[in-house]
Amino acid sequence: MWLINTRTLKLEEFFDAAVPDYAILSHTWGSDEVSFQEFKSLDITSGDPADLIIKDRAGYPKIIKACGKALEYRLRYVWVDTCCIEKTSSAELSESINSMFKWYENAQICFAYLSDVPATQDATDPAFVNSRWFTRGWTLQELLAPRELLFFASDWTLIASREDTAASVSNITGIDRTYLESSISEQNTRLRLLTEASIAERMSWAARRTTTRVEDIAYCLLGIFGVNMPLMYGEGQKAFFRLQEQILQTCFDSTLLAWNPTDEHGRPLAFDELEPSSSWASAMKMVMGMGHPWSAPEQPHSNALPMGLLAPSPGCFLLCNDIVECEIVLDWTPTSRGLEIELPVSDNTWPYAIIPCRLRNDPWSLLALPLDVHEGGAYSRSPLSAMRVSHHTWHQWPMRRILLKTRIRPNYDTEPVPSWYVWINSLPPEMEILERYSDSKHYAADTLVPVVSERETQTISSSRFGIAGMKLETKASNERFSLVVKVTKTSAYTDLGSWIWPRRWPWRSNSDLYHLEYCIAKHVSPDKLISSWKRTGSLRFTRWSLELKDSCLQFEVTKRKLLDIPVFEINVRQSPKGYISQLQYCMGRCLWLLQLIINHVLAISMTLGFQGRLEERWAL
């Protein structure tokens, strides 16, 4: 550690326990600072032109004034970051930045020089409130780490101490007064005091701050989180990801995941408010088919690219100053692919995972993160806002061990993973598949059609479906038409006939095909389009089959698995008209309705039972 001797104005180097008592300077850098090499070569008694140039620099008077203030407090040494760090040495620069919080904490006193605050100003004046010093990234740890900090105006007159200005500084920075005015005993440290704030709260302190270099917004926070990592200037935004990964490896605080994405103006999205409800209201919703205990309230899904588990910048934590962690033990493991953790996950098309953290003033709700699915069942953060859910849901949603990807690699992890495939195995001889399409992508006639709807590869939600389309042609009449197959959860029951719903539209124009493909890409049932397109030609559509002149096409489905991904093999056969297909369809629908009723009854009983037991436990 290099220190300036306040009497000789020479740099001296000290190691570990040999470091003497010293003062330390906190300031904002200008464009004309004095470097380590320049100050070390400076002869203050010389009239050499090179020395005079250094003395004429705007940063030189700050060093001299800081030395003078240190002498007033009977301190022989002072540390100034502009001239006490050998920045041409990457090893020394890395050591200095990783040690900086400790250096500020170990200083006897810190002088915070506000160059843009005129004399005779107090902590409530606009000049103090709007000082550039409160907007820079590096000055955050310089505000929090020292045991004693004094603010000085541009002429080096004393404004006040940190403790005396705690109320004003708290309003300016969003930092609770506890961390500004608390005294530290010999057994305690400033860092230990800061750990009483959650990770999200500490991140929120840096949300409005900026640095000249992108990487420094991460490096300036190393000390506040008590972590160390090598510096790699040129890595850009990756530095902030590395910081969060280092925090995860040190200790897991679920509030690190409680950030929200930002909008086009750089403002973070607000947390979605939880609508108040009761057990009976939840039960009625289930009876009406509007929800069940293991689902989250539906939100419009975003078409934006998925995000990693970790925030891209501190700005995403702007609204997290009141986020606190719940005291609960979680089973988690950091891996090279991401974070393996066991959390309650909703059974939705686009699921949510509850993390054990809440707002400080609301102990009855938890935060749920929106998720996207990736290859191998891994999850990432969806670009939607987090949602507040009732604490009851922690026990209602199924507990699952999932892999949360910390980062999303461009053009690699953004491809959706098929939840199942649709395979047309056979067609009548007089029909031919010209093309297949799913999610606005075209496939050859002899390929599996991937369907992406569910977020879990092993199950199909009862409230969701997948659809795939085919462009067919009858050889006899050369009539072309599009056929859409909608696969639902009941498709697995093949014994009672066709459990797929075929839909047919005349393929007359590109606009018709565009609308159809749009529905397929958005996983929206295109039933409403039937009324707008007239059924023409020799084919006529019914709910259970496609009817020709003297026969009908029946669809039989068999559920198989290909590398653990469900494959629905569909065989289309031609048979004479009759009532057997109608009977099969009716029997299948009756079974589906019976299953739906049973599910609703079980869901209602689970909801009432869960909430009743939890309310009794909470009351105790």
**Of 107-116, 174-183, 575-584, which one has max mean pLDDT?**
107-116
Cβ 508 vs Cβ 516: under 8 Å: no
Q: In angstroms, rounded to a whole number, what is the distance separating the alpha carbons of residues 456 and 407?
A: 20
Query: Which pLDDT belongs to residue 387?
Result: 87
393's tokens: 């849901």
pLDDT band at 471 (very low <50, low <70, confident <90, very high): low
What's the DSSP call for residue 33? P
**Virtual torsion, Cα 19, 22, 26, 27, nearest 10 deg:** -100
Question: What would the pLDDT profile of 211-258 be if each residue is shown by its tens digit?
Answer: 999 999 999 999 999 999 999 999 999 999 999 999 988 888 899 999
| For residues 148-152, average pLDDT | 95
| Residue 105 clears pLDDT 90, i.e. is over it | yes
DSSP-derived secondary structure for 231-243 = --TT-TTHHHHHH
Query: Which pLDDT belongs to residue 382?
Result: 84
DSSP three-state, residue 167: helix
> Across the strands, what pairs with 341?
332, 402
| Residue 126 clears pLDDT 60, i.e. is over it | yes
234: left (phi over 0), alpha (psi -120 to 50) or beta: left
Q: What percent of the chain has pLDDT over 90?
A: 35
> How big is the chain by its Cα radius of gyration, in Å?
33
Query: Which pLDDT belongs to residue 256?
Result: 93
> Across the strands, what pairs with 136?
210
- Kindly give the interhelix angle for 279-287 and 580-619, rounded to the nearest 10 degrees: 170
Location of structure tokens 């049932």? 525
Cβ 264 vs Cβ 252: under 8 Å: no
pLDDT band at 450 (very low <50, low <70, confident <90, very high): low
Q: Measured between alpha carbons, how far is residue 330 from residues 344, 400, 513 in Å? A: 11, 12, 50
Query: Which pLDDT belongs to residue 13?
Result: 93
Query: Which pLDDT belongs to residue 597?
Result: 78
Query: Which pLDDT belongs to residue 441?
Result: 52
Query: Which pLDDT belongs to residue 585?
Result: 54
> Across the strands, what pairs with 435?
471
| Residue 197 clears pLDDT 90, i.e. is over it | yes
DSSP-derived secondary structure for 169-198 = HHHHH---THHHH----TT--HHHHHTTS-
| For residues 470-494, average pLDDT | 57
Residue of higher predicted confidence among 543 and 363: 363
**In the sheet that 11-13 helps form, which strands lie side by side, from edge to edge?**
11-13, 2-5, 77-79, 22-26, 109-113, 149-152, 158-161
Region of poorest pLDDT, from 138-142, 276-280, 536-540? 536-540
**Of 251-260, 419-428, 506-515, which one has max mean pLDDT?**
251-260
What's the DSSP call for residue 270? P
Q: In angstroms, rounded to a whole number, what is the distance separating the alpha carbons of residues 282 and 241?
A: 40
Query: Comparing C-alpha atoms, which of 426, 425, 423, 428 is closest to residue 552?
Result: 428
Residue of higher predicted confidence among 402 and 374: 402
Region of poorest pLDDT, from 245-259, 345-359, 432-446, 483-497? 483-497
pLDDT band at 457 (very low <50, low <70, confident <90, very high): very low
What's the DSSP call for residue 272? B
Phi, psi angle pair for 547, to nearest 5°: -100, 130
Query: Which pLDDT belongs to residue 495?
Result: 33
Query: Which pLDDT belongs to residue 257?
Result: 92
Cβ 361 vs Cβ 388: under 8 Å: no
Query: Which pLDDT belongs to residue 493?
Result: 37
Domain residue spans in the chain?
A: 2-196, 251-417+579-620, 420-578
Query: Comparing C-alpha atoms, which of 189, 181, 215, 220 is closest to residue 202?
Result: 220
What is the CA 526 to chain-centroid distance, rounded?
33
Query: Which pLDDT belongs to residue 587?
Result: 62
Q: In angstroms, rounded to a whole number, what is the distance separating the alpha carbons of residues 252 and 255?
A: 9
Dihedral sign for Cα atoms in the order 535, 539, 541, 542: positive
Q: Which residues contact 491 (CB under 8 A, 6 or more apart)?
A: 460, 499, 500, 557, 559, 568
Query: Which pLDDT belongs to residue 327?
Result: 83
Query: Which pLDDT belongs to residue 116?
Result: 92
| For residues 323-337, average pLDDT | 83
Q: In angstroms, rounded to a whole number, what is the distance separating the alpha carbons of residues 584 and 149?
A: 82
| Residue 517 clears pLDDT 80, i.e. is over it | no
pLDDT band at 616 (very low <50, low <70, confident <90, very high): low
Side-chain-side CA neighbours of residue 135 (13 Å): 9
Q: In angstroms, rounded to a whole number, what is the distance separating the alpha carbons of residues 550 and 231?
A: 77
Q: How open is the CA angle 388-390-394, to the nearest 5 degrees?
A: 105
pLDDT band at 470 (very low <50, low <70, confident <90, very high): low
